[in-house]
Structures are given as C-alpha cells and as structure tokens.
Amino acid sequence: KAMENAISYPVDTGISTVEAKKIVSVKPANLRYEPREIASLSIAELKGVLRFSTAKQGEEGAGEVESLAEEPKKWSGMDKEALRQMVKDITEDPDEIANLVAKADMLIDDELFQPPPPKEECPICFLPLKDVSQVKYQECCGKRLCTGCYMVGMKREQSQILFSHLGIGKRPLCPFCNTPEPKSNQEAIARLKKRCKLDDANACHVLGSYYRFGELDLVQDIDKGFELLFRGAELGSVDAHQNIAYAYDSGEGLEQDAQKAVHHYQISAMGGNLNSRHNLGNMEATALNYKRAVKHWMIAASAGFDFSLDFVKKGYK
C-alpha cells in the first residue's frame, strides 16, 4: 500500500496558470521549465505547446494546428524557427505558454508511465527477446534471433564451419533463412550497408555501433557512427535511442546534454527498452524525485529487469 501511494501520480490536467507556474518551476530533468518567452523555448517545449494547444483554439487556423498536433510525424522534422512561428500564431503570453507546457508534461507522463509493450519475439522459438546483448542480428534477412537459437544453428553447422576454414565444404547457414553466413567481416559490412539502404532501423543501429567503436575491421568513425544511430532512431530503433541517450548522458561521443538524454531515454523506455527505463529512474533519483524514480524502477522490475528490482528492494529497507 505504501508503494502504491509512493508511485501515484495526478492525471487531471485542469490546472490554473498559478499552478502551472509552480509545476514548471521544478528541475529540467523532469522536462518541466520555468515560464519563458517563446525565443528561449526548446524544440521539445515548442512541440508540446503545439500538441496540446488545440483544446483552447477556436479561431481561424485552428484546424491546421489540430491536424499537425494529431499527426506529429508531419512536423517532427521542422526546425526551431518554423515551430516558433507556429507557436506565435497561438500565443506569445509566457503564462499561457507555461500552462500549456505544464499540461503537455502531465499528459506525456501518462504515456511515459504506461507498462512496456510486449517484447519482440525470436522468429524461430517465439520466446521474448531479452537484452540487446543476447540478440543476434542477421545481416542476410534482417531478423533478430535469440542467442540460443543462433548458437544451436551454429552447432548444427559446426562441421561445415571447420571445412569452410579449410577451404572445402559449405559455409554455415543462417538459422532462419538458410543464407550462407558471410565469408568475412567485409562481406558482413556490405550486407549491413545494403540493409541500411532499405531503411532497416536495426541495421542502422548495428552498423552505427560498429563505426562508433571501430569493430569488424572498420576504421573508427564516431561521426559516421552517430549519423547511422540517429538514422536508426528516426526509423524506430529503441536500442539506437538508448545508445544516443547514454552518449548525451555521459558525454561519450556527443556533447553532454541531460535534457536530450532524457528525451531519448524516454522514447526508448516507451518502446520497451528496460535499460533506458532503469536509467530514467536513476536520473530522477539523482534529482531527488524519488516518487518518479520508483515508478520507473517498478515498471522495469515488473518486466523482469533485475537491477531495477534490486533498487526497489532497497527502498523498503
């Protein structure tokens, strides 16, 4: 019962301007901000104002804003100047902006603290895929296999692996599509590049990681690596979002930016990445927001993430 009280969170968004000022004055790690002029708003705030302004719009032009708010993909790529101009068409009053941003935050929290979606399944054994370290991406067919099915397939082809090194016999086959495994790292990279051209989000994430750390005989290219990671994130890879978030959080490869780290952690967590969910809890706890931290850890622990379960246990001591 105490835990339920600790993780309760208001969902009512009918707040006054005075209440909004109080809400948006807490720390930036919560994606809540002090009332400011439009010129100083971040892209996330501008989008929040646009997304949740339609409820109070009744004059001419509201239909266009509403359609953009209902389909955020149409305006997600706009630059800051374009978004700012659209906000100015609604209001320039910092109090109204503060109110709208506060409402946006509360509604975003409703989405953020939902249980994670069902885990992706291995296409061979149909068991849920676990952490990315226990998943093998196949460059031939673009499938993600659990390491168990992959290793069983490789064991079955063990004699062929031996013969292939001796220059005789067949190469081992992909456990899913029966395509011969690549002869070399260069062939594996060529397959990944081909998958990237087909807008395969997982391929962009994998190849970006290889470039970032100089793996598979690639010359390390951090800029190229993050270019591919951002592309993978844009195409929907929650693992790419998690890697980008960690880079922003730690300053390894990208300029340290807590706000951008939270943004990518949130997208990744809502997509089902439990590492990101756990890290969001850590960031909230560091900022002394223990109720929000516990909510993140409870969600991750309920989905089977042991680190979060350990943190929840400590909270009872």
Amino acid letter at 247? A
pLDDT of residue 66: 44
Rounded CA-CA distance 234/236 in Å is 5
Residue 145 host element (H or E): strand 144-146
Residue 214: pLDDT over 50: yes
pLDDT of residue 167: 52
Summarised one tens digit per residue, pLDDT across range 30-43 is: 444 455 677 777 77
| 52 vs 139: which has the higher pLDDT | 139
Q: Is the pTM of this model over 0.85?
A: no
DSSP assignment of 215-237 equals -TTPPP-HHHHHHHHHHHHHHT-
pLDDT of residue 110: 75
Residue 68: pLDDT over 60: no
pLDDT of residue 12: 36
pLDDT of residue 25: 41
Residue 144 host element (H or E): strand 144-146
CA atoms within 13 A on the CB side of 126: 0
Q: Are 224 and 214 within 8 A, CB to CB?
A: no
Q: Dmax of the chain from CA atoms?
A: 78
Most confident of 29-38, 145-154, 211-220: 211-220
Rounded CA-CA distance 168/68 in Å is 60
pLDDT of residue 158: 57
The phi and psi torsions of 99 (rounded to 5 degrees) equal: -65, -45
pLDDT of residue 78: 64
Which token pair is 203? 């391929």
